[in-house]
Structure 1
Amino acid sequence: MAMTPHDTLVLAVYLFAFLAGLPANLLAFYTFLVKVRKKAAPIDILLFNLTISDVILLLFLPFKMMEAASDMTWPLPAFLCPLTGFCYYSSIYISTLFLTAISVERYLGVAYPIKYKLNRRPAYVIVASFFFWLLACSHCSIVYIVQYQMPELNETDLNPTNVSKCYERFSPNQLEILLPVRLELCITLFLLPFFISLFCYVNLIRILTSLPNIQARRKQRAVGLAVVTLLNFAICFAPYNISHIVGFIQNQSPTWRVYALLLSTLNASLDPAIFYFSSTAIQRTFSDCFTGVGCKLQALMPSCYQLCLPCCEAERDANGVDRSSLSNMGELPPERLGRGR
């Protein structure tokens, strides 16, 4: 059966997200795992959980690729349909929660440096992380409720033409359950986290730009982190969650919802940019990785290597210490600490 343009687009997006996101996220996963095992700082725990969420989504993408390549029919065993949907949607909302937690951690480290340094504990972040996973997974369990509590209405079952669909079309009775849950998902797991992140980053930038003794490069990193995170919310998460609002108003799933969901899938390939702005360890790891690739290129294609080399080095100060990241944003100069609120 020939693939339609719709199926081709879906497959292309899934393939791009998988190829672009999996290597970077696995590299970040290893880096944060080493850091957390050695010395667990709150930001490292948050970034580690965000990486786990992205890796889970990416590992289940091949199942979605097979679905797209099969004319949006489900070619795999039936039990993998709800499992894939559960992990897929849970990962999306877990990402919004941890992105918000990172924004709060950054803001507290700058706005209340003394209090934050005295009171931050890895145990607090571990408890919060467990709560985020529980909150997102409990909401997304609606996939299993539709699958097993309403079996007579389940579109995953074989239809008269012997074509199996996975969580794609819904009956009116299913929509009575799904649409209110989706609206609640939008409010609880998107709108609230988005406005919290917006508040934190706007105020973080305002505080940093008012301090003349902060390096210009660190201010640029702060702006970069804020812009990447808010764009992530706006591009990857907003369209999909807006479809929940539209669907609730229209009492049906919007036809364009599948395209909005594709944007959410791209989040897993964009998060490594947030890792880069947030952690010196990631900067060093990426730099070492690119340097290694550059050495291979130098041996194979010397002219290509000259183009890649300038991008591979991290910024270091006169003492050889990397100051280009926001991972130590809370460690402001003594003048700022003296003004801690």
Structure 2
Amino acid sequence: MTNASCQSIIFDFTGRFLPPVYILVFIIGLVANGWGLKSLLHNWKKLKIINVFVLNLGLADILYLLTLPFLVAYYFMESKWIFGDAFCKITRFCFNLNLYGSIGFLTCISVYRYLAIVHPVRLIGRLTLTHSVRISVMVWFLVSVQSLPDMFYSKTFGNNTEKCFDTTSNIYVDDYLKYSLGWTVNGFCIPLLITLGCYGHVIVVLCSTNTTDKVLKLLFIVILLFSVCYIPYHVLKNLNLWSRVLQKQKICRKWSNGVYIAPQISRGLVCLNSALNPLVYLHGNEDIPAQLRQLLQQVRQMFSRPPPTNSAGVPMAQITDGGY
């Protein structure tokens, strides 16, 4: 197929789709993560091992959410990046830290749940708060090492520094595809298999005890995050890179347009993890559901409270409304 067929790709779709998603995620994510982190820090003395991982999960979300206003401005300005090449790379680096940090800490939470339920005797006294802090530092280190090579790939097109690619320009796309596939295996596939293995074993062990309620809730949250946010992103990202490699070789497919648009949708979905991760707070911290119930009760009372009356029993609103 000739290269002319590749020119029909709709490049302006991203500018219409991503900004509203980013604005929504920024508002919900900042409020939810801010509240969740505040609650965890407020109960610092009661901090459990699993909450250290939840705390780091929230920090990864906040780090990424703070970059979203710059990306919104970028897409609103029709993909013109005015913040410089260095900050472009930092912004993309923060996205990768959030993505793979979230996957890493969800995996840590899954492994801890597995050990606490399947091997409780071995766990007691052996896994301390200090250990969980060290594990968290290791997760940040591994995620940073995996994400760092991405910063050495060009994020601009030639001398045009007004672009800020999330992967790289077509000049380096062949090498980037190889790097991306390795990154996907190490940063996503292996943690996914570990997580599925842990919860699979836990459910088998607890099936006969009728105590799977809480575990199933966390399993549902993890499945939601992986199926909505992570799996589509990694599959479509690599498929899009492969399509670009084919186009570079002047091999164009009829699905080129769709394979460009689909990863942009998945990119919007993957950023939802920053708004969905706070669901883990509801599971991991028993105080937050109680605070939610108390807040809802206060709101209900506020709206159901009768209006104040004067000594004659006449609502004050009526007296006020009558005076012109």
Q: Secondary structure at the match of 2:245?
A: coil
Question: How many residue pairs align between the two structures?
Answer: 284
After superposition, give the CA deviation of every residue in 1:100-159 in whole Å (9 maximum; x if it has no partner): 110111111110111112312111111111111111112212332124xxxxxx526653
User: What is the percentage of aligned positions where both structures have the same residue?
Assistant: 24
Give unpaired runs (5+ residues) of structure 2. 1-10, 247-258, 308-324
Aligned to 2:100: 93
Q: Does structure 2 conserve the Cα–Cα contact (< 8 Å) formed by 1:179 and 1:244?
A: no
Give unpaired runs (5+ residues) of structure 1. 148-153, 302-341
**Alignment partners' CA distance in 1, 2:134 and 2:180:** 26
Aligned to 1:79: 86
What letter is aligned with 1:62?
P
Q: 1:54 aligns with which of 52, 58, 61?
A: 61
Q: Does structure 2 conserve the Cα–Cα contact (< 8 Å) formed by 1:47 and 1:275?
A: yes
Superposed, 1:89-238 pairs within 5 Å as 89-147=96-154, 154-155=155-156, 158-159=159-160, 164-168=162-166, 170-212=168-210, 214=211, 219-238=212-231
Q: Does structure 2 conserve the Cα–Cα contact (< 8 Å) formed by 1:186 and 1:244?
A: no
Q: Does structure 2 conserve the Cα–Cα contact (< 8 Å) formed by 1:236 and 1:265?
A: yes
Q: 2:284 aligns with which of 260, 263, 278?
A: 278
Q: Cα offset for 1:75?
A: 3.0
Q: Return the index of the structure with the highest Cα Rg.
A: 2
User: More relative contact order in 1 or in 2 (CA 8 Å, sep 6+)?
Assistant: 2
Aligned to 1:8: 16
Q: Does structure 2 conserve the Cα–Cα contact (< 8 Å) formed by 1:183 and 1:248?
A: no
Superposed, 1:19-58 pairs within 5 Å as 19-35=27-43, 37-58=44-65
**Alignment partners' CA distance in 1, 2:153 and 2:208:** 52
After superposition, give the CA deviation of every residue in 1:18-64 in whole Å (9 maximum; x if it has no partner): 122110100111112233x3144210100000010111111111111
**Alignment partners' CA distance in 1, 2:102 and 2:306:** 39
Q: Does structure 2 conserve the Cα–Cα contact (< 8 Å) formed by 1:31 and 1:285?
A: no
**Alignment partners' CA distance in 2, 1:7 and 1:300:** 48
**Alignment partners' CA distance in 2, 1:146 and 1:201:** 37
After superposition, give the CA deviation of every residue in 1:167-221 in whole Å (9 maximum; x if it has no partner): 2574444223321221111101111111111111122222222115x4xxxx322
Q: Cα offset for 1:236?
A: 0.1
Q: Does structure 2 conserve the Cα–Cα contact (< 8 Å) formed by 1:43 and 1:102?
A: yes
After superposition, give the CA deviation of every residue in 1:210-261 in whole Å (9 maximum; x if it has no partner): 115x4xxxx3222121011112111100111113443565563952322211
Q: Cα offset for 1:271?
A: 1.0
Superposed, 1:264-303 pairs within 5 Å as 264-298=270-304
TM-score computed with the length of structure 2 as normaliser? 0.79
After superposition, the CA RMSD in angstroms is 2.5
Q: Secondary structure at the match of 2:82?
A: coil
What letter is aligned with 1:104?
V
TM-score computed with the length of structure 1 as normaliser? 0.76
